[in-house]
Structure 1
């Protein structure tokens, strides 16, 4: 074999070794990426499983979870009448004399909140109406951040205009929003005209003042304050229900009977 043939064979072998090394390196990199993605998926799944149903997890996409917060917080803070708490960030429904307090943490774009509303909403309200507890609503807007858009913030600001009318109007509008909730990733609540259309389903809500407040975004700075308070609450998913400090084991498929049982257990009472 000539020197040229030996040299050519050595070059070919070197190229083959280099190719194998590149393939092995790429395969190792793919395996590392696969392991990392599995770990992320498992972590996310662990975070969002709550109370017998899958809840919407706060801040998985990063950021403050306040959606269009920079624009929402730029105006003058106007707190709706009937709001309570620091900066009026708490919305109370029910009898003021009720001895027990149910804290509900929700986001208007949360599909699991919608599921709970549809499966046990009537019972949740009736127990507030009969004085078993009063409800403190703590509303978040983190799904705007997670999914894009400003529907949660826009809906909350419109709900503030309803609260400015009365807590009863807020509750009725709250229920209408869930009854007509779009898919989580569809930002239909970002359309103010759609919110006004839904407000028309609540008799007596669409006063001139209400329409003007919704169109002008009067309560958007307030909605940002409410969102900020939610983000600081330590609650990690919606819906979360806490009765007198006890977290209820409920989720999007909780029935009325299961809700009543959870409440009775938390209060230490019998059916």
Structure 2
């Protein structure tokens, strides 16, 4: 009898241990995405690696928003199916293509270092910027911040290209930690929009609140997934990729500018 009781105690202990082991494995799985992205950020700053896109799965992950609401393309959108945002003179002979995700922490580092330089490079009319925006980090990290921010950017673009660019810059300057989904809160997005003079019109607020441009944001994200670009940030000038990181830092504006001009044949 005592032997049977001992076996039962061992069996119960084994079940507890097995349950603990499974819970530990589940916890590790829940943390893996955050740890991976955080590690990628460290690697990016140490060796110039962009946040990677899981292109194969993302191409098959079409947003349900595109099917559940009518597609409204914002005024001032350009490119195939209105999925590109062009900043600068539309007839500029050279094109700088910028690929970003609003939740991408490496994009924030790039924007902090060279965002103003990107703007200045358009001023003489030789180079225009085409923004190709992504939302793949929502799938990688969970939440809806990339998509919510992208839809709100559509509302800003509808107000004007300059309003878009100013709002784009405000979003990166106030980007939450990648482990949080701060941009998933529409009220927070609207608060940030208040930093852009003249942007927060009644029409803008309604479009953001009603998610008017969510289906458009889904199409923009799908276009990014189909672009062949494998990470963000990525910058190409006339199809030639620009080096954005050197050693453990973002390349300085002088080096970035020199690369852009060389790729465009402006030196």
TM normalised by structure 2 equals 0.79
Partner of 2:257: 260
Moved over 4 A (4+): 48-52, 65-68
Change (3 A) 1:96 1:71: closer
Q: Is the 1:144–1:153 Cα contact (8 Å) retained in structure 2?
A: yes
Q: Please say if residues 141 and 179 of structure 2, whose CA atoms lie closer than 8 Å, have aligned partners that are also in contact.
A: yes
* Equivalence map 1:1-271=2 (5 Å): 53-59=48-54, 63-64=57-58, 69-71=63-65, 73-251=67-245, 253-270=250-267
Equivalent pair of 1:68/1:153 in contact (CA under 8 Å) = no
Q: SS state of the match for residue 129, structure 1?
A: coil
Q: Is residue 53–residue 112 contact of structure 1 (8 Å, CA) maintained in 2?
A: no
- 1:103 aligned counterpart, secondary structure: strand
Contact 1:155–1:189 (CA under 8 A) maintained in structure 2: yes
Pair 210,66 (structure 1): closer, same or farther in 2 beyond 3 Å = farther
* Deviation string, structure 1 residues 8-41 (Cα, Å, up to 9, x no partner): xxxxxxxxxxxxxxxxxxxxxxxxxxxxxxxxx9
- CA distance in 1 between counterparts of 2:172 and 2:47 reads 20
Aligned in 2, Cα 1:182/1:84: closer, same or farther, shift over 3 Å?
Answer: same
Give a deviation string over 1:56-96, Cα, whole Å, max 9, x none.
Answer: 11018x73279892245421000000001222101000012
CA separation in 2, counterparts of 1:139 and 1:50? 21
Equivalenced residue count is 225
Whether the 8 Å contact between 2:95 and 2:128 is mirrored in structure 1 is: yes
Distance 1:238 1:184 in 2: 14
Q: Deviations over 1:124-165 (max 9, x none)?
A: 111112323100000000000110001000000000000001
Do the aligned residues in 1 keep the contact of 2:65 with 2:218 (CA within 8 Å)? Answer: no
What do the CA deviations read for 1:98-145 (whole angstroms, capped 9, x no partner)? 110111000000111110110111111111123231000000000001
Contact 1:162/1:169, CA 8 A, preserved across alignment: yes
- Give the match's secondary structure for 1:106: strand
2:96 touches 2:237 (CA, 8 Å); kept in 1? yes
Please list every run of 5 or more consecutive structure 2 residues that lacks an aligned counterpart in the other structure: 1-35
> What secondary structure does 1:109 align onto?
coil
TM-score if structure 1 supplies the norm length? 0.77
